[in-house]
Structure 1
Amino acid sequence: MKDLRSAAALTAALMTALTTLAVGPAGVAGAQEDSVVLEGQLWFDRNENNVWEWGEPVYGNSRGVRIVDAATRAVLGEFPTDASGRYRAEGLPKVDLDVQVVDADVFRVGPARKGPGTVDFGLVGGTVEGRLFVDQNEDGVRQPDEHGLAVARTLRLTRGAVELPSPEVLGEGGYVFRDLPAGEYVLEAADRAPAAHIAAPLTELDVDPVTRRKTITVPVAGAGRADVRYVWQTIDFAMGTPKLTPAKDTYALGDEVELTVPVTNLGPVADRAKFTMFRMGPARSVTDSLVMEASGQEFGLREVLQPGGTVEIGIRYVLDSADIEELHLFSRPNSAQGFRDSNVRNNHAIVPIKLSTGTTPTSATSATSTAAATPTTAEEPGTASGTVAAPVAVVSGGGGLASTGVAPGVFVVIGGLLVGGGALAYLAARRRRRA
């Protein structure tokens, strides 16, 4: 009779995916001699080798296990897991017990790992995975220059009211949510408007571009899939033929010029272009169509330019450096709204500048009002006509009197006085000794 009852219990275990644990006198002793304690852990066996390994997460705060009397099929209780994925059942009778993972209907449960008074289970969950990248040409194929996106900030997966943990990066331009119970999920992509939008769907795997969502069904230990392809909103501000006013073959230092350029919006959206002037100092001023930033080297359109519209901009400069060879204005590849320029080849306006090679005189060579007002040396008597006296020559490193520019007669007089004074002091001393 006992053998027949054991065979029936084994058959029931196979049919219901239960694990039978025989707990006899060798079990963990409970508070009373006729009871035992049973404990264990649930974890996600990602490599399915039925051994917990570092990096495999536990199934914490779950519904845990259900323990059943193998003979009578009476449910003895359900025992949830704590944050570390462990459960503990106390006060169990000393009978054959069936230990069942409560969530065995949504996970694949591996063979039980049995020990003295312990039963551990490795679970295999489902996944949701797919591609996440910028598909600028909207062909559904990730090109080498179409980069992936940060998955944690872009994708959100929910099952009912429960939000799942952030996904992992999977290869180049991919993502994966792991350890999922079977069921229906909703994947939602972040709203990146106006800088980007979801590409038009090419397959049934693509997220809807309007709702940015896709419903996914994940089977037990199976995989669901959804692809998310973004397209950056683009602009195309084209620079026309630049003009420099006044027009000259050669300019001189200190000349003031104005660079004017027509700018056309060839893109699909209204926006404001931004500009940078290369290798020049701050501009003197700009026309009303522009706003100049504090640096004096960065500019932006004052008004939004509609698709197909053209506006002329002007920037004034003083040619204050002999190193100036050109005025090079560049329409920056990111607009005021953060859109990217799809064609930077037409973003440059360049005008060569030729500066005069002659030098500017530093002083007049003949009598002029400017020279008389600001003489470079003091005038000697007899130069009242305004002629500037020649400066005294100074020899670098000279050691004689000539290097001082002072007449030697002064020093002769001073020497004579010193000698005469010394002689008088000597004679006075001799008279005192004779006295």
Structure 2
Amino acid sequence: MTHKILITAAGSYGDVAPYTGVGARLREAGHEVALATHDTYADLVRAAGLEFRRLPADPRTRAHRPGAAGEAQPTAPAGGRTLMRQAAAFITELGGGIADAAHEDTGLLLLSATTAPLGHHLAEALDIPSLDLPLVPGAPTGDFAPVVGGGRSLGRGGNRAAGRLSLRVIDRLYADATRDLRTRLGLPPAAPRTVRRRTEAAGRPVLHGFSEVLVPRPADWRTGLDVVGNWWPWHAPDAQLPPVVEDFLAAGPPPVFIGFGSMAGGDGERVSTLAVRALRRAGLRGILQSGWAGLTTRHTPEHADVLTIGDVPHALLFPRMSAVVHHCGAGTAAAGLRAKVPTVPVPVTADQPFWAHRLTALGAATAPIPFRELSADNAADRLAHALAQASAAPERRRHAAEAAHRLAAEDGAGEVLAAVERLRG
């Protein structure tokens, strides 16, 4: 039976791209799939064979970025009240787009963590089922503190209390958007907390798109909160690395990848100079992925040992590296493991310190270097030391390879497909 499915996802590339893999898997099974997200990702969505529907508040064209539900977060320091105002404004703008994205024949909603608190109202208005598909653990647990705070343990009782507080903060962020959206949809007034508790009490399934290799499912989670494995961004089966990249790889030993995705905006020149200096002190070649920071080698002389690239699928590039240096977003952290290469974690904000520490605890990464510490006088030496450790230590590569073997046995997108067919069967 063919179902008309709408996936909604908002935020940075890492918040959106995994859903192209989910959508493609559903499409291959015969379902009609649309993905509602920002204009920035329209080509990515269409390339995966999915219908693109627009959501407002594109993070590439805004002065600020979302920071509501444990996914995208601001790249520059700001006060807590400022961040709350920015996040609430983003969510309010997003709410109107969520309502526009659904068509009358939509039969099922699949919701990212950022869009779920809005999508639940839409599902209620349309009287259709919905399925939450978060990329990070959000339900309170005694196992760890909320991941947006880095996951530093407060003890089992403290972790659960912090988790409940985190949900209440999210409720506050969605309050205005909820009011406006329910009015627009003709629904009776209801606070975000009321709708959230109603959803939790219904015991609806929630599928988490990460692997138990990094985060075992907490035993104190309710039935229906499942960890199913990563959803990998779609790329064409015949995709290849650009010739300039292949030529660079062939010209010497495997290089180190350095990239920060949608993080570190405005810091490109400084970070690029630091990265090249660290690579040379470690005696290593490198590939800098420009990303939103705009990493480049144009400010560094004689850069034949360093290449700057644009968007390239990590699934194709990472296995060719000796190590990877990145911000430790959930998807990028998993991609490094999947490629069987060690990581140098440089977390910036949000859930990134959580994933960085998980990689280190697994033995597949060096100790994290918080991005803010790259401004220190010894930053180049510290990064060079970490690069040498990651590239030369066989134990870290062995741990990464063991994790990759376990990841290969998982089928996260297949689990979503099975859940969809149970819901709509």
TM value normalised by structure 2: 0.20
Q: Which has the higher strand share?
A: 1
Structure number with higher relative contact order (C-alpha < 8 Å, ≥ 6 residues apart): 2
**Which entry has the higher C-alpha Rg, 1 or 2?**
1
Normalization by structure 1: what TM-score? 0.20
